Amino acid sequence: MSTGKVSITLDSEHTVHESEHTDALGPQNQQRIIASNEILARQVQAFLEASEDVDADIETIEDILEVLNFDESEDNATADADAPDTHHDHEEDSHDEESHDGHDMSMSFLRSHHDTSSSQENDVWSKQEVKQMTHLLKERGSSTFIEEYVKTRNIPILKLLDAFKIHLCPELQNRKPKTMLYFLRVALAHVLRKRDKLPQYNTIQDAVDLIRKSQRILILTGAGININEAFAGVSCGIPDFRSRDGLYSSLKTKGEYDLDDPQQMFDINYFRENPSVFYSFASQIYPSNFVPSPCHRFIKLIEDKGKLLRNHTQNIDTLETLAGVKKVLQCHGSFATASCLLCRQRVPGTEIEADILNHKVPLCKSCNPTPTAPIKPKKTSKKKAKGQWDSDVEDESDAPEYPAGIMKPDITFFGEKLTDDFDHSLAEDRWNVDLLLVIGTSLKVSPVAEILSHLPHSIPQILINKTPIRHINPDIVLLGNADNVVLHLCKELGWELPLPPEPVQTATPNPSVTRSQPPRRNTKKRPTSGDDSDATSSQTPPPPPERVGDSHVWLFEGAEGGRWLHDLKRRLGIAKSTTSSAAPSGYNTRQSTPATSSPAGKNGDARREAKKARIA
């Protein structure tokens, strides 16, 4: 008896389309076949999407896709007649825009459907065994888990998947060993993302106590430590990358450079083709003469007190080093050194500083021993009206525009790998850290974004950021301008920030170059309350932080909670018109100071209510 066949295709909306080939089975059995193949297609889709986060080589991907290779001669004919156009343009998908709810939905197809007649046995693991396995995974990481259960105990991967409620379709249960190991890694990565909050830490006082008692603090930082809207002149003057007013948005809006996408500014292939575009812009982000922010000096203070394990920074400005921090790893490289693209010779970044500030393309002195005429950025002419001829563009020579041996700052561009220092440092730090501080980063760029999943889940985590991060679950969330938050913590700790260093004189720049440099303040008179000297006495002090209900979330000036904060208040049963309690000390967990206690309090409440109206 012939059996029914089903063609499965995925369109750009990941919709599954089925088309029957024969009608040999009854309607009920046909529906079972359709449902079964839909689950298979969804599971394949989930594993393919997971390859964005979990490494998979082309052989593994092809092995997964092979399960969808039905009799194409039959299926394609029927699909052409009965199914809609399902061409899938992968370039239209944006992984960065996918929510983690979407990731969970894909994973649900690995968990929810279990054919007991052909899949793993039920209840092969006791609750205690699963608890022990999960604890090992969360504390020691996926590599240790695989070493213990796969290599040492030789437990079949299907059985291990069952412990995490992952039930594969029969077609996926006998793939190549490498593919099966990939399935397990996907399951483990999903568990590692689901960190449980440590319930004993909730208040600002808890954060203060953790910082005071910890001796090996790991700090992850991003562009948010360079920006402070509250105090004019305090911020470093260096733009971030991804905010609505950040570098990429500015590049796109102004359209001054010949870029199809703003991120091309940091694309290694584009740089090799036209380095002048980067060097016509690089002076705007070059760190020379910028003053470290209170956040940089807070990290220095933690190091001075012998508490810093390491600062993993995603910033390329070297301001941590300028602040005096020794235990710092620039994960994405920096301007501190530069290398030749041809001979790979590395030199101090100061050797190309003058060229950067004068918008010139620097050349390797070894590859170009004979001085050449300075290379100025090529002008990109405006688009002409239709029918007009631009002789400057049309008459370009076919000769190479640049000599061999272009120098490039040792910044990790898109298309380049991070250095081995990152992996070595992470492997060392994960077993020594006793507190994690995440400051001024949205953790959207891998592999730095994955650091948290490599740390033991029992390590306390504190987030200091302007906006919440949806894909992590820190124990204490301090939302607001990062400088304001660390100044408040210093006040509660009784610490005094070190003075900002004097700016270093740069190489002689082009006088026409305009750069964002905050003015120097008088730093001789310093208050003893922990407030930063950069904030002048004429400025109104920021309002005290306010707690969101009885949660672990605290709002400082500059906080932008958006939908995340709205949903949190709804879960806590906080009415829209109800304000969170404002604690003058910053860590009173129950009682609050009346809003009418002082004129300053009224002004602070008014500012907060106005801000809430904007971010709600």
Determine the Cα–Cα distance for residues 181 and 529; give it in Å rounded to an integer.
56
Determine the Cα–Cα distance for residues 249 and 98; give it in Å rounded to an integer.
20
Q: Which residues are annotated as a binding site?
A: 340, 343, 364, 367
Determine the Cα–Cα distance for residues 485 and 545; give it in Å rounded to an integer.
9
Q: CA 437 → CA 203, 538, 561, distances in Å?
A: 15, 32, 19
Q: Which residues are annotated as a binding site for Zn(2+)?
A: 340, 343, 364, 367
Place of tokens 């018109």: 577
Token pair of 515 as six digits:
């750069």
For the chain, the residue count is 616
Q: In this structure, how many other beta carbons lie within 10 angstroms of the beta carbon of residue 305?
A: 14
Using DSSP's 3-state secondary structure scheme, residue 436 falls into: strand
Q: Which of 125, 177, 173, 118 is nearest to 150 (CA)?
A: 177
Paired sense of beta strands 16-17 and 217-221, if any: unpaired
Question: What would the 3-class secondary structure string for 2-25 be?
Answer: CCCCECCEECCCCCEECCECCCCC
Q: Which one of the listed residues 332, 457, 488, 552 is annotated catalytic?
A: 332
Task: Please state the separation of Cα 23 from the chain's center in Å.
Answer: 51
Burial of 573 per CB tally in 10 Å (0-12, 13-18, 19+): exposed
Bridge partners, 438 (sequence order): 220, 463
Is the preceding omega at residue 509 within 30 degrees of 0, hence cis?
no
Cβ 21 vs Cβ 4: under 8 Å? yes
87 noted as active-site residue: no
Which amino acid appears at position 445 of this protein?
V
Catalytic residues: 332
